[in-house]
Amino acid sequence: MNKVEIIRKYAVYTVYIILIPCFQVSFPDKLSFNGQIADLMMVFVVLVAYFYGLKDGIIVGISVGILRDCFAAPAIVGFGGSVTSSIGIGVFTMFAVSVFSASVFTMKIKRKIIFALVTLLSVTVLYKLFGHAIIFVWTKIFSQAVYSLSIKELVVDSVLTQLLLNAIAAVPLYLLIRFAGPYSKGINPKLRLQEGRGADSSWLTI
């Protein structure tokens, strides 16, 4: 990569890393349905990690995670009913999302949008299930509060609704990183060279 390409890469990433979290927290009513909000930050990290590799994914994921913690860290009811902000969860979550997304449905298959969508849906389901499991354990054991979410509310109102919203959000975000993203023609040249080596590697382009 020449200097112009490097500058473009970091400039574009910086703009998106700032604007996407700001847009999500500034206009949640425009992104919500049935009590859920489209997770633009997660979708962005998944797409970057899937299409541009682990290194890009981790850097973007941690950066987005820091802003996630700053803007929208979830509140936790602690011992004695005290409410505290869970700083650090956003960074850990986005890091884990980036590693998962860069590692699944990538080796020896083409990095196509359909596999990116499958990865996104898988991440969304895991995120929701792990999140509700942690909330359940925390409320039952630590905060001694009542966990009143029914199976229908968990599956339909939470997981399925979030899947729909994230899938819809993936369309414009994919177009952004593909046609106005950090790399010319939507291809990470280093990743292409690395994963193009060997007879078993049959995929090279998005």
> Would you state the pLDDT for residue 172?
97
Which residue in 118, 96, 7, 104 sits closest to 45, CA to CA?
A: 96
Strands (E) in 49-174, as ranges, are 75-77, 83-85
* Alpha-carbon dihedral sign for residues 86, 90, 93, 96: negative
Provide the pairing of β-strand 75-77 with 83-85.
Answer: antiparallel
The pLDDT tens digits for 79-101 are 556 666 678 889 999 999 999 99
3-state secondary structure of 121: helix
Instruction: Determine the Cα angle at 64 with ends 59 and 66, to 5°.
Output: 100
- Domains contained in the chain, CATH given: 3-183 (1.10.1760)
How many percent of the chain have pLDDT more than 70?
84
The predicted-structure confidence for 101-143, as pLDDT tens digits, reads as follows 998 877 666 788 899 999 999 999 999 999 888 877 777 776 5
For the whole model, what pTM was predicted?
0.87
- Note the pLDDT tens digit of each residue in 2-29: 899 999 999 999 999 999 999 999 998 8
- Dist CA 104 CA 96 (whole Å): 12
CB distance 202 to 33 below 8 Å:
no
**Residue 188 neighbours by CB under 8 Å, 6+ apart:** 51, 52, 53, 56
